[in-house]
Amino acid sequence: MNYIDPLTKESFIPERSNQRFANRANQIKYNNLRAQKKRKSKSEIDIILDKNRTILNIIVDTNPINNISKDYLLGCGFQFSCITHQINKDGHTYNCVYEFGYTILNVNEIKIIKHA
């Protein structure tokens, strides 16, 4: 019985019952192309999340109170549209970027915590 290699579309006779590719090199190339496509589709969001995390990390390391103005965050390039998850703590809902969380206390004051 002949099978079709998903990468090259060539017909081949498998040597094993679970063989999907004509050879190991085709399998590696196929999987690398899939991983590259996945990384590329996520890269725009990952760049924003990384920048947001860096900004929050600097603030937490340099500011012991960790209350900051929204304008300051916007001036640093923080984008409020990208978060990784939300948590509830002390009666507030925190939008999180990895291990950092922030909540809006009032119109221009934001509290930042490190929760992990």
Indicate the pTM of the whole model.
Answer: 0.77
Q: What is the pLDDT of residue 81?
A: 93
Range of the domain at 59: 3-114
Give the model confidence (pLDDT) of 27-81 as tens digits: 999 999 999 999 999 999 999 999 999 999 999 998 878 899 999 999 999 999 9
Q: What is the pLDDT of residue 96?
A: 97
**CB distance 113 to 89 below 8 Å:** yes
Q: Where are the alpha helices (DSSP H) in the chain?
A: 24-62, 70-76
The total number of structural domains that make up the chain:
1
Q: How confident is the model at residue 86 (pLDDT cuts 50, 70, 90)?
A: very high
